[in-house]
Amino acid sequence: LELLEDMRDNFEQGLVPLSVYNDPELSEVELDRVFNRNWVFLAHESEIPEPGDYVLRTIGEDPWIVVRDESGTIRVLLDSCRHRGAQVCRADKGNTSHFRCPYHGWTYKNSGDLAGVPHRVESYRELDLKQWGLVKAPHVDTHRGLVFACLAADPPELSEYLGGIAWYLDVHLALTEFEVLGDPHRWVVGANWKIGAENFAGDSYHTESVHRSVVEVSLFPSILLKHGVAAQGKRHISGLGGHAANLNHDVGAPEEAQFWGYPSEVTEQFDAEGMDPAQYELAKWSKLSTGTVFPNLSYLCSAFVDAPGRPPGTVLMLRQWQPRGPAAMELWSWILVPKGASDEYKDRVARVATASFSPSGNFEEDDTAIWSTIARTAGSRYARSENLKLNYQMGMPGMAEIERDENWRGPGVALMSDLEDGGQRTVQRRWIEEMLRP
Ligand code: FES
Ligand code: FE
C-alpha cells in the first residue's frame, strides 16, 4: 500500500510507479476495492434472449452465472453450491431450467432458489430451502443491452455510475438494436488488466508506432496515423469520473463514409429518435471511437475497408480486461452488429473483426506482445527497489498547450488533440481513489 500512497502523492506531477502494473499485493486489494464494489460489465442481453439462457462470467476472478429466469428477469448468481461450494454451472453457456450440483445433487431453479435436496426429509428433516438458494448479486441493471452487476451494499444507480460515458456509448448503441455476433473471443495475455483499460481510454499516441503496418496495408483508415492538433476532428474526452472517450468526428470529409462506415442497408434503419442532435451528428461524421468504462470495460468502433470497390463497413466491439493475478489478464472481446443487418454483412464484419481484434488479430498482437513486456519490467526487482516512475505527463500544464473545444456539446471536457494522457490519467485517478477508500 506504500506504493499506492506514493502514486497518489506523485500523481499531480504525472508520475506513476512502474510496479503498479505487476504487484501481487495490489492485485489482491483491487479484487475487493475495485471489482467487488463498482458496477462491472457481465454480458450483452442478446447473449441470453430466452428464459433459461445463461452464460458463465466473472467479477474480478470469481465465477458468476448470468441467467434469464423463467419470469424473464436477469439474475446474477454466484456459481457456488451452498452445500460444499462446488460450482453448479457446468458449461460456459447454455439453457436450463435448473442447475444441479454434480457433487451431492442439490438442485437450484434458474432464479437461484434451492428447489431440491436429495434425501432431504430423512437426512435434514427441517431444512429451510429458502435460506439456501444460490447467492444473488444484490444489484443488476442494464444500459442499452449491456448487463452490469454491483456487489456493493448501497451503490449509486447504474445510470448515475455511468454518468457522461453513457452519452458516448449511446453515440453507438442508440442508433438501432444491436446483437452479439457469435461467442465472445477470450484468451489469456501476460499483462496487467489496467494496461488495456488505459490504452482504450486514450492512448492514441501508440497507433502511429505499433499499428503502422496494419494501416499501411489499407485495412483501416489512415486517420489512425494522423495525430495532434493538425489532425482535424480528434477529440479526447475526460472529466467523466474515471471513464474516458475518444472520437474522431471528421466533419470535414462528408464525401467519405458516414455513420462510422455502416453500409446503407444498415443506416436506413438508424433512428434519430432517442438521440440528441449532437449525438446524431457525431455518429454521422465519426470514423473512429474508443473508450473505457471504469473499471474494465472498453469499446472500439472503426470504419473499415475490406476490399477495393466494396462499400465500407464498421467494426464495433466490446472488450473486457479481466484480472488473473498481477501479470495476467483474460481478454474478452465481443463483436456487436445491428440486428437487422444482412447475413452477408455480418459475415464480413466477423472476418474483419477477427483479423484485427482477436487472439490472431493483427492489431491485437501488436498491442499484447508489447503489454507483456510491461508486465515483465514492472515486476522487476530493480523497478521496485528504486521505485521507478513512468511518464504520464503528455498534455499536462507545462507541456505543449492543448486547446479545449468550447463548442463541444457532449458531457466532459473535450481536448482538441489526441496527443495527451488525460483519459488514461482519469482511469488512474479513479483507481487510486477506489484503492485508498477503506
Ligand atoms: Fe453441491 Fe454438495 S456441494 S450438493
Ligand atoms: Fe492498439
User: Relative to the CA of 88, which ligand 1 atom is closest?
Assistant: 1
Measured by CA distance, the residue closest to atom 4 of ligand 1 is: 104
Cα–Cα distance between 24 and 434 in angstroms, integer? 17
At 252, the pLDDT band (50, 70, 90 cuts) reads very low
pLDDT at position 13: 95
| Domain membership flag for residue 79 | yes
75, 170: one domain: no
C-alpha distances in Å from residue 296, one per residue of 59, 160, 374: 10, 17, 18
Q: Single out the residue in 150, 185, 205 at which a domain terminates.
A: 150
The residue to mutate among 78, 80, 82, 104, having the most atoms of ligand 1 within 8 angstroms of its beta carbon, is 104
Q: Are 225 and 150 in contact (CB under 8 A)?
A: no
User: What is the CATH number for 78?
Assistant: 2.102.10.10
70, 179: one domain: no
User: Relative to the CA of 105, which ligand 1 atom is closest?
Assistant: 4
User: Relative to the CA of 84, which ligand 1 atom is closest?
Assistant: 3
Q: Single out the residue in 115, 150, 185 at which a domain terminates.
A: 150
Which pLDDT tens digit goes with each residue over 52-69?
999 999 999 999 999 999
Find the 137 Cα to ligand 1 centroid distance in Å: 20
Q: Single out the residue in 118, 150, 182 at which a domain terminates.
A: 150
For the Cβ of 116 lying below 6 angstroms from any atom of ligand 1, the answer is no
146, 105: one domain: yes
215, 300: one domain: yes
235, 267: one domain: yes
| Domain membership flag for residue 26 | no
Burial 405-436, CB ≥16 within 10 A → b, else e:
eeebebbbbbbbbbbbbbbbbbbbbbbbebbe
Q: For the residues of 412-436, what is the DSSP string, one character each?
A: SEEES-S---HHHHHHHHHHHHHHH
User: What is the CATH number for 255?
Assistant: 3.90.380.10
143, 171: one domain: no
307, 202: one domain: yes
Cα–Cα distance between 4 and 12 in angstroms, integer? 14
User: Relative to the CA of 106, which ligand 1 atom is closest?
Assistant: 4
pLDDT-wise least confident of 84-88, 125-129, 158-162 = 125-129
The residue to mutate among 84, 88, 89, 127, having the most atoms of ligand 1 within 8 angstroms of its beta carbon, is 84
142, 287: one domain: no
| Domain membership flag for residue 12 | no
- Total domain count, the chain: 2
Measured by CA distance, the residue closest to atom 2 of ligand 1 is: 104
At 291, the pLDDT band (50, 70, 90 cuts) reads very high
What percent of the chain shows pLDDT beyond 70?
Answer: 95
142, 196: one domain: no
Which grid coordinates are listed for 234?
Answer: 480528434
| Domain membership flag for residue 16 | no
C-alpha distances in Å from residue 58, one per residue of 40, 42, 64: 9, 7, 5
Regarding an ipTM greater than 0.90, the answer is yes
Find the 367 Cα to ligand 2 centroid distance in Å: 5
Cα–Cα distance between 276 and 283 in angstroms, integer? 11
| Domain membership flag for residue 29 | no
Which pLDDT tens digit goes with each residue over 100-127?
999 999 999 999 999 999 999 999 988 9
204, 311: one domain: yes
pLDDT-wise least confident of 173-182, 260-269, 376-385 = 260-269
In this predicted structure, the answer to whether residue 255 has a pLDDT above a threshold of 60 is no
Q: Are 313 and 352 in contact (CB under 8 A)?
A: yes
Mean confidence (pLDDT) of the chain? 92
Domain enclosing residue 226, as ranges? 163-436
Q: Are 414 and 235 in contact (CB under 8 A)?
A: yes
| Domain membership flag for residue 27 | no
| Domain membership flag for residue 20 | no
User: Relative to the CA of 86, which ligand 1 atom is closest?
Assistant: 3
Residue 196, C-beta contacts closer than 8 angstroms, at least 6 positions apart = 189, 296, 298, 319, 321, 329, 331, 371
For the Cβ of 103 lying below 6 angstroms from any atom of ligand 1, the answer is yes
Helices 362-378 and 343-356 sit at what angle, rounded to 10 degrees? 30
Measured by CA distance, the residue closest to atom 3 of ligand 1 is: 84
Dihedral (Cα; 364, 370, 373, 374), 10-degree rounding = -100
pTM to 2 decimal places: 0.96
For the Cβ of 104 lying below 6 angstroms from any atom of ligand 1, the answer is yes
| Domain membership flag for residue 357 | yes
144, 172: one domain: no
172, 145: one domain: no
Which grid coordinates are listed for 18?
Answer: 512502474
pLDDT at position 224: 63
